[in-house]
Amino acid sequence: MVAPGANIFKYGYLDGSSIGLQDGLNIINASYRIIEPLSQHPREQAIVDAAWAGTAIVTKSADNRSSEVGRPHEGDFDELTLGLIGAPSAIFVGALDHNGTPGNKTRLARYSNYPGSNPEVRNQFLTVGVEGDKTDLYGTSHAAPVVAGYAAILDSKFTSATPTQITNQLLDAARTDTLVNYNPATYGRGEASLSRALAPVSTRLPPYPHASERGWIAAPGL
């Protein structure tokens, strides 16, 4: 719904088929976890490989354990998260109580995971508002697709940008003045801002006047 003009490809959670990248920019939304080794999940291994190779943007929900990203829960690790830590075109997405403004700041939702002490996670972590009182939808699973939509919109302006460039654009344009007691251990880079990412004064990518049709893959959970 954020980027209705994007081409969307859905994969069922239990569907074992592999991810197939499309022509143009690919954005993979992963609003789920994998607790078995990635060697047992070829599709998820392909998602991680794409994030490390910079051939697709991967937006990964931070999870809803009120704990640090990458830490085990009841002895189990989210292997998909671990595989994406440090990947140049991967973004972890946490949930805020609502979309913030400088006059009405917001805070991390009580259930959302946070980047914590790992500097790599802090550097690739964004937050967005999940206003469940309006939509009856809660959780970081509904935050990550918003950032996926932002990436698709950026691609319509910066049509020659690589997945890694668009990833960096979103991270670099994040706001911190809309957050209560901003701290990178809690909010990572800050609150995702589409307007700042699109603004010429804040971008280092060359704008092009004619948007081309690009691919957008939505992984399970969208």
Residue 17 neighbours by CB distance under 10 Å: 9
Q: Give percent of the chain above pLDDT 70.
A: 89
Residue 123: its pLDDT value, please? 98
- Domain CATH number, residue 112: 3.40.50.200
* Contact yes or no for 63/140 (Cβ under 8 A): yes
Classified as helix, coil or strand, 145 is: helix
What local confidence, expressed as pLDDT, does residue 101 receive?
A: 97
| Per-residue pLDDT band at 9 (split at 50, 70, 90) | confident
Nearest in space to 219 (alpha carbons), one of 88, 40, 31: 31
SS3 content of the chain, % helix, strand, coil (to 5): 30, 20, 50
* Cβ atoms of residues 152 and 67 within 8 Å: no
pLDDT reading at 177 higher than 90:
yes
Cβ 152 vs Cβ 25: under 8 Å: yes
HEC string of 67-128 equals CECCCCECCECCHHHHHHCCCCCEEEEEEECCCCECCECECECCCCCECCCCHHHHHCEEEE
Span of 53-67, 143-157, 208-222 with lowest mean pLDDT? 208-222
69: its two tokens: 């990203």
More confident residue, 131 or 216: 131
Kindly report the length of the chain.
222
Domain count, the chain: 1
pLDDT at 130: 95
pLDDT at residue 217, as a whole number: 36
The pLDDT-based confidence of 200 (bands split at 50, 70, 90) is low
What single DSSP character describes residue 177?
T
- In this structure, is residue 1 part of a structural domain? no
Helix orientation angle between 163-172 and 144-157, rounded to the nearest 10 degrees: 110
> Mean pLDDT across the chain, nearest whole number?
89
| Beta strands at 57-61 and 125-129: parallel, antiparallel or unpaired | unpaired
Q: Which residue has the higher pLDDT, 169 or 1?
A: 169
Please say if the pLDDT value at position 202 is more than 60. no
Q: What is the pLDDT of residues 118-165, one digit of tens each?
A: 999 999 999 999 988 888 889 999 999 999 999 999 999 999 999 999
**Burial state string for 118-149 with b = 16 or more CB within 10 A and e = fewer than 16:** beebbebbbbbbbbeeeeeebbbbbbbbbbbb
- Which residue segment(s) compose the domain that 74 sits in? 7-218
pLDDT of residue 132: 84
Q: Is pLDDT of 24 > 50?
A: yes
Task: Supply 147's token pair.
Answer: 């950032």
Lowest-confidence pick of 30-44, 58-72, 181-195, 207-221: 207-221
Q: Is residue 2 domain-resident?
A: no
Question: Which one-letter DSSP state was computed for residue 176?
Answer: S
